Amino acid sequence: MEAYLDNSATTKPCKRACEAALRTMENDFGNPSSLHKKGFDAMQILESARGVIAKSLGVDPERIFFTPSGTVANNTAIFGAVELMKRKGNKIVTTAFEHPSVARCMDKLEQSGFEVVRIAPDESGNISEEAFQNAIDEKTVLVSLMAVNNEVGTVLPFDKIKRIIKRKKSPALLHVDCVQGYMKLPVKPERCGIDLMSVSAHKIHALKGSGALYIANGVRIKPYVLGGGQENNICSGTQAMPNIAAFSAAVEELADIEKRLEKVTSLNEYFKSELEKIDGVKINSPDNALPYIINASIGAVPSQVSVNYLSSRGVYVSAGSACSKGHRSDVLVSMGLSPERIDSAIRLSMSYETTKEEIDYALSAIKSCLSELSKK
């Protein structure tokens, strides 16, 4: 038996997505920028997919721009927003536990002379509205935060930030990295006042190599990727049509967000209750985390040792973000956890396809891992 519990790193493509990609590769392989029938056919698929993504977010299709990944969407949003807004101030507010595709952008902007305020979570992994209230001011030109933390599952107050920005009379644009929250939470950017929002296909049972950026009406960021002017100049480069077709198909497949959330919540409650019964295991995710993600420290067993041991038994987990190999988790460090607890932490991330049998199998393997590898 196997138990795949690394869905925050990537998900297994659903059958509908695979079929859409194959159909596009075999039949509709034209370049959507080409002015002939094959090009027109590809363009129809592109615009249909744009409509599907837009509908899932409750926005107009012209507000959706395809990118090669969530990382490119984040970079495009952040650098584009700062270039647009830099004459109005030099302060950026973000959090101390962002994904590397945001955190490294912030490092670069700080080196360029911007003031970057990184709000740290408390020990439970949460960040309050008040923390943003205290950080945002009239000099702030960008607020960038994730909807859901990719390592511990914290749901940030992204839907409250625009009100704070207005209250503080700040000109700031609001960017939300929704890669881990998309199609798991019912996020509607217009209702929340979000100016820019990034999503990714391979986190929702589609293929790697496609993402999208929502840009609110009236927000005209400057392009970060230059070239042939595709996606209305927002992200140049020939669109990866099989990936985009698969992206659209997966969104349609996952339309019932609440039903899947209910199922995964039940699995999460069972999983955590059983983990807490194991001597030496400590849960690092906050109680109010998105139920798809559980971060736990496994006794005194180093994270990578646990990952390797569990993998040898067909249980697939990670030692943190798949984009941050080889060093101590910035997320857990920002929460102020002890080095011992950080160094033994693993992330168990589920999908709507996860079963109780997989969880039971994983629990058995974790118990064996502790029994065989814990320091005596």
Query: Which residues are tagged catalytic?
Result: 323
Alpha-carbon gap, residue 290 to 74, rounded angstroms: 21
Assess contact for 354 and 265: CB atoms under 8 A. Answer: no
How far are the Cα atoms of 9, 99, 319 from residue 303, in angstroms, in the given order? Answer: 16, 19, 6
Assess contact for 27 and 266: CB atoms under 8 A. Answer: no
Assess contact for 20 and 249: CB atoms under 8 A. Answer: yes
Q: What one-character DSSP code corresponds to residue 61? A: G
Q: Are strands 173-177 and 345-349 parallel, antiparallel or unpaired?
A: unpaired
Assess contact for 68 and 237: CB atoms under 8 A. Answer: yes
Q: Are strands 293-298 and 281-283 parallel, antiparallel or unpaired?
A: antiparallel
Phi-psi region of 102 (alpha: psi -120 to 50; beta: other; left: phi over 0): alpha
Q: What share of the chain is helix, strand, coil (3-state, %, to 5)?
A: 40, 15, 40
Residue 233 has a CB neighbour count (10 Å cut-off) of: 14
